[in-house]
Amino acid sequence: MKYIHYEKIDSTQKEAWREYEKGTKEILITASIQSDGIGKQGRKWYTETDDNIAFSLLLTPNVNVDKLKDLTIRVAEIIKEIFKLYDCYLEIKKPNDLMIKNKKVGGILVQTKLEKEKVKALIIGVGINTSQKEFNKEIKDIATSIINEYNIKIDNSDFIKKFYKMFIKELKERNIL
């Protein structure tokens, strides 16, 4: 698996699409800071400090789109399982929000490129506020972080490795990879 880390980038999701357009088949892209991260329905995802989780995973499975049924929820469940290892407990607000005490701590963006019913590209984007202590006025009442709620420092790199391992296992079990 190809891996690239950026200190600052517009969006890991946008970069994954650029990589796909260049012919890349698989890549994991992480970033310390995103200046123009994207969320569901084109909303902005803020990654303002260099200590939060921001990554996108590009895969080219070439499977029927039906195999991806409930994939966003499964991604959320995997993330929730990993945080339990740190004694952090998240709730899933369907379809793609990760919550603590009714505040958003993270989000998932699943995008695909289809040809007829075949999935030619699958990009999973994940953003999680692990260490951000302050939020801008637009979101301060609706957003939170792991550090604010649990006073725990997450090893973001370790988290991403755990996610990758569990997610690939899930895809193999579904015969997607």
Residue type, 78: I
Q: Residue 37's pLDDT is what?
A: 72
The CA-CA-CA angle for residues 176, 4, 7, to 5°, reads 135
| CATH number, domain with residue 162 | 3.30.930.10
Q: Residue 33's pLDDT is what?
A: 87
Looking at the chain, the number of H-run helices and the number of E-run strands are 4, 9
Q: In the predicted model, is pLDDT for residue 11 greater than 60?
A: yes
Q: Residue 88's pLDDT is what?
A: 97
Domain total in the chain: 1
The Cα diameter of the chain in Å comes to: 47
* Percentage with pLDDT > 70 across the chain: 93
| Torsion angle of C-alpha atoms 128, 133, 139, 145, degrees rounded to 10 | 30
Mean pLDDT of 114-130: 96
Confidence of residue 80 (pLDDT cuts 50, 70, 90): very high
Mean pLDDT of 155-174: 96
Candidates 105, 103, 157, 109; CA nearest to 132 is: 105
Mean pLDDT of 102-129: 96
Report the half-sphere exposure of 108 (CA within 13 A, side-chain side).
24
Alpha helices in the chain (DSSP H): 12-21, 71-85, 146-150, 156-173
Q: Residue 10's pLDDT is what?
A: 92
Q: In the block, which residue shows the tokens 């995973």?
A: 57
Q: Residue 91's pLDDT is what?
A: 98
- The CA distance from 73 to 156, in Å, is 21
- Provide, for the chain, the percentages of residues in helix, strand and coil under a 3-state DSSP scheme, each rounded to the nearest 5: 30, 35, 30
Mean pLDDT of 23-43: 82
> Do residues 95 and 136 lie in contact, with contact meaning Cβ atoms separated by under 8 Å?
no
- The CA distance from 72 to 76, in Å, is 6
Candidates 38, 33, 21, 23; CA nearest to 125 is: 38
Range of the domain at 126: 2-173
Average pLDDT value over all residues in the chain? 92
Q: In the predicted model, is pLDDT for residue 40 greater than 60?
A: no
